Structure 1
Amino acid sequence: MTAATVGTIGMAPVEPDADAGLLHAWVTHPRSVFWGMQDHTVAQVREAYRVIAADPYHHAYLGRVDGEPAFLAERYDPSRRELVGLPELRTGDVGMHLLVAPTDRPVHGFTATVMRAVLQECFRPPGVRRVVVEPDVRNSRIAALNAAAGFEVLRHVRLADKVAALSVVTRDAFTASTIGGAR
C-alpha cells in the first residue's frame, strides 16, 4: 500500500454548525459503521462536534483535497480522552481518528495519501513521540492501513463502545513505513 499524489491536502477546524450536514452524511454512511454514529441525526452530529470544539483535549478537522471536503480527522490527548488510565500511554502520545469520506469513485492510493498527511500533521509538534489509535478489532481495512503506516498493535482493550486494537506508531516507524516513506 503506497501513498499516491492526489492533490493539495489541507485541514481546518470543523465548524459544527456549518459542517454538520456534510459530516452527518459521512458518519451515517454504511461504510462508516465503525465511526459509531450510524443512528445519529444531523442535530446529534452537530452537538457531538460542538462538544469536541469546546474541548481543550480533543480537536476535529475537516480535510479537503484540492478544496473539496474529503475527510474528517480528530486529534486528542489519549491520557485525558478515550484511553484514560491505560498503562501503555506515555508522555508525548497523541490520539488520532480518521474517516475518509465515502465515495462511489475510489481513487487508488487516496486513503493512504490522506493517512500520510494526517500523521505528518500529528507529528508536526516536536513533543509528539507516538500517535495512538484504537480502531475496532473487526475493522480489517483500517488494520491494513495502520500496518502500512507503521502502527504496532499493543493489545486489545475493551472500551465503552467496542473492543479496540490499541496501536501506536513512533516517528521513526512512520517514516520507515510504506505510507510514511512514500515521497
Structure 2
Amino acid sequence: MSDHDTTGTVFRRTDPQLGEFALRPADPAADGELLHAWVTHPKAAFWLMQGMTRVEVEREYAAIAAHPHHDAFIGLHDGRPAFLVERYDPAHVELKGLYEALPGDIGMHFLCAPTDTPLHGFTRAVITTVMAALFDDPEVRRVVVEPDVRNSAVHALNEAVGFEIVEKIAKPEKNAYLSICTRDQFLATQGATR
C-alpha cells in the first residue's frame, strides 16, 4: 500500500463476484461517527472497544494515525465505507516481545461493518482485499495476526487465505492464536504462484 496519498485511495481491487474494493486512510475526526458505530457494535465484540464513547474511539484512532508503526484504513465497497483495516509493525505493536519478528513481517486487523443485508462471500472478499493490499508492498514477506482463540469465524477466514496457526499466545487482553501467512501461501489460495 502506498503511503504517499494521504487523502485518497491507497489500494483498489476488483472482486469478480462483488465488485470494487478500495482502501483509504481513516480520518479519526471525519470518520469518528462511523468508526464508533462499527467498533462498539455487538458483532465487534472481539475488537475490544465495547462501551467506548465516540470521543474515546476518535482518540484511539488519532493515536493510531500519529503512531509510526500503526495505520488505520477505511475499506470501501463500490465506493461506500464497509470495513476497517489496521496495519501494524508486529516488532513494535501488538506482538512486541511475543514472537520473533522477521524483516518483512506486517500485522493486521480487519472488521466488517455491521449490516442488515449481508452479501454472500463479502467477508472473504474483504480479507482477500486486505491481504492483496498488504502484499502489494514488495517489502512485505509475511502477514502476522493474533486473533482471539474463541473467534472461530475469523480462524476459518484466515485459513482460507493461507494463514497457519503457529502457536497459542497469552496477550494482556486475550488468549490468541499467533498465525502467519507468507506471500506464497496467500497466492496459492488465489490460484496463483509467484
TM-score bracket for the superposition, by shorter chain length: over 0.9
Aligned match for 1:130, one of 142, 146, 159: 142
Q: Given the two structures, how large is their TM-score scaled by the length of structure 1?
A: 0.94
1:108 to 113, 120, 138: 120
Amino acid at match of 1:181: G
SS at match of 1:16: coil
Asked if structure 1 preserves the Cα contact closer than 8 Å seen for 2:98 and 2:169, the reply is no
Among 43, 57, 71, the residue aligned to 1:45: 57
Unaligned 5+ runs, structure 2: 1-14
From 147, 167, 171, the counterpart of 2:159: 147
Query: In structure 2, what residue type is equivalent to 1:100?
Result: C
Aligned partner of residue 120 in structure 2, secondary structure: coil
- SS, match of residue 84 in structure 1: coil
Higher relative contact order (CA closer than 8 Å, sequence separation 6+): 1
CA distance in 2: counterparts of 1:147 and 1:88, whole angstroms: 21
Does 1:80 find its partner at 2:95?
no
Query: How many residue pairs are counted as aligned between the two chains?
Result: 178
**Amino acid in structure 1 at the alignment position of 2:112:** V
Query: Secondary structure of 2:191's partner?
Result: coil
Is 1:31 matched up with 2:36? no
Is 1:78–1:95's contact at 8 Å kept on the other side of the alignment? yes
Instruction: Quote the offset at 1:87 in angstroms.
Output: 3.4
1:104: Cα distance to partner? Answer: 1.3
1:4 to partner: Cα distance? 5.7
TM-score in terms of structure 2 length? 0.89
Superposition RMSD in Å: 1.3
Contact kept in structure 2, 1:158 and 1:164, CA below 8 Å:
yes
2:18 corresponds in structure 1 to 6
Alignment CA distance shift 1:181-1:104 (3 Å): farther
Give 1:59's match in structure 2, choosing from 62, 71, 75. Answer: 71
Q: CA shift at 1:64, angstroms?
A: 0.6
State the shift of 1:5 in Å.
2.2
Deviation string 1:100-137 (CA, Å, 9 cap, x unpaired) is: 11111110111111111110110111111100000000
Cα distance in 1 for residues equivalent to 2:41 and 2:19: 24
Native 8 Å contact 1:174 1:181 kept in 2: no
Q: How far, CA to CA, are the matches of 1:41 and 1:181 in structure 2?
A: 43
Partner of 1:18: 30
Which residue does the alignment assign to 2:6? none
- Percentage of pairs with the same residue: 53
CA contact (8 A) 1:4 1:110 kept: no
Q: Which runs of 5+ in 1 are unaligned?
A: none
**Equivalents in 2 of 1:181, 1:113: separation in Å?**
15
**Which of 160, 169, 172 is the matching residue for 1:160?**
172
Is 1:92 paired with 2:107? no
Hey, what's the Cα distance between the residues in 2 that align with 1:94 and 1:172?
A: 15
Q: How far, CA to CA, are the matches of 2:53 and 2:191 in structure 1?
A: 39
